[in-house]
């Protein structure tokens, strides 16, 4: 069921029993989004409701970014959502979500100024503001977000805790092409050569994860060596953090994150790993 206004959304959700699961997207959907919808369907069961949104959020695009050229493929998006179990697709116009310029916005805090936030000032304020609005509009019991946008996932979880939202935030593992490239709507911008260069990001992450037994320095050295071999990938950052994106631990669970510009397209990726520096001791 396609709805495009807040009133239609309220009517579509009214009287439905069971759990409500939500997936928020900007469209140009691919297998990664399909995995989110399937996860929501599995979690809420046949008696529950899966609502997915398709909305290109202008607040999270900075000057010179790709808001106008961001791919918009609503018909194909609706077909994918229906195929993988969404009951309701909410595809509002900008004026429906922002009837007027919002004066009150969510502040992402210190983490929002690091990593992606350092290169894209205000980005996470825009993300969190629209996610909060969509959470209020869809009123889900559980909401699903991809681990590919790991910093976004962490910040949304933190927002839900900090403002006591009655929703469970669930991360869904990154979906990749057979050659390792993380699925992203922006992959459509890459030509054949650029796509080959982009493989350096996932290759660097794999190399870093394979070196995790040697500790943090070994992880970063292994990953950098892969990226250095493909200078066409203009690396913004390569960082090792703990799972909450604080400083990396000496041992235990961590995240290796990378961002790079390939041609005119900015790509991000990350991988989980378990550090163990004990092999360096005596």
C-alpha triplet 209, 213, 214: angle, nearest 5°: 100
194 known ligand binder: no
148 known ligand binder: yes
**Strand 2-3 versus strand 88-90 pairing type:** parallel
120 known ligand binder: no
78 known ligand binder: no
DSSP string, 31-52: HHHHHHHHHHHHHH-TTSEEEE
32 known ligand binder: yes
125 known ligand binder: no
117 known ligand binder: no
26 known ligand binder: yes
Q: Please check whether residue 188 is in contact with residue 69, taking contact to mean a CB–CB distance below 8 angstroms.
A: no
In whole angstroms, give the CA distance from residue 120 to residue 49. 35
From the list 23, 77, 83, 76, the residue with the least C-alpha distance to 49 is 23
In the structure encoding, which two tokens stand for residue 147, read together?
Answer: 């681990």
The 3-state DSSP class for residue 5 equals coil
146 known ligand binder: yes
17 known ligand binder: no
Q: What are the CA-CA distances from residue 127 to residues 59, 89, 133, 250 (Å)? A: 7, 19, 10, 31
95 known ligand binder: no
Residues with a catalytic annotation lie at 33
Binding site for (R)-pantoate, residues? 60, 152
Binding site for beta-alanine, residues? 60
Binding site for ATP, residues? 26-33, 146-149, 175, 183-186
Binding site, residues? 26-33, 60, 146-149, 152, 175, 183-186
């Amino acid at each position: 069921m396609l709805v495009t206004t807040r009133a239609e959304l309220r009517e579509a959700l009214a009287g439905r029993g069971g759990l409500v699961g939500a997936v928020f997207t900007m469209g140009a959907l691919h297998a990664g989004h399909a995995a989110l919808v399937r996860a929501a369907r599995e979690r809420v069961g046949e008696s529950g409701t899966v609502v997915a949104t398709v909305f290109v959020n202008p607040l999270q695009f900075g000057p010179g970014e790709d808001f106008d050229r961001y791919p918009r493929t609503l018909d194909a998006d609706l077909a994918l959502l229906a195929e993988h179990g969404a009951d309701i697709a909410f595809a509002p116009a900008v004026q429906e979500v922002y009837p007027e310029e919002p004066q009150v916005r969510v502040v992402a805090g210190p983490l929002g100024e690091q990593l992606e936030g350092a290169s894209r000032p205000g980005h996470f304020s825009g993300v969190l503001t629209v996610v909060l609005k969509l959470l209020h509009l869809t009123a889900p019991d559980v909401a699903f977000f991809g681990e590919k946008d790991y910093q976004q996932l962490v910040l949304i979880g933190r927002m839900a805790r900090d403002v006591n939202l009655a929703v469970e935030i669930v991360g869904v593992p990154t979906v990749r092409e057979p050659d390792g490239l993380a699925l992203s709507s922006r992959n459509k911008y890459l030509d054949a050569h650029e796509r080959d260069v982009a493989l350096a990001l996932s290759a660097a992450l794999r190399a870093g994860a394979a070196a995790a037994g040697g500790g943090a320095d070994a992880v970063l050295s292994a990953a950098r060596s892969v990226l250095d071999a493909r200078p066409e990938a203009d690396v913004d950052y390569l960082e090792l953090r703990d799972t909450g994106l604080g400083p990396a631990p000496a041992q235990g669970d961590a995240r290796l994150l990378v961002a790079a510009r390939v041609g005119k397209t900015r790509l991000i990726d990350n991988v989980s790993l378990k550090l163990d520096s004990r092999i360096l001791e005596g």
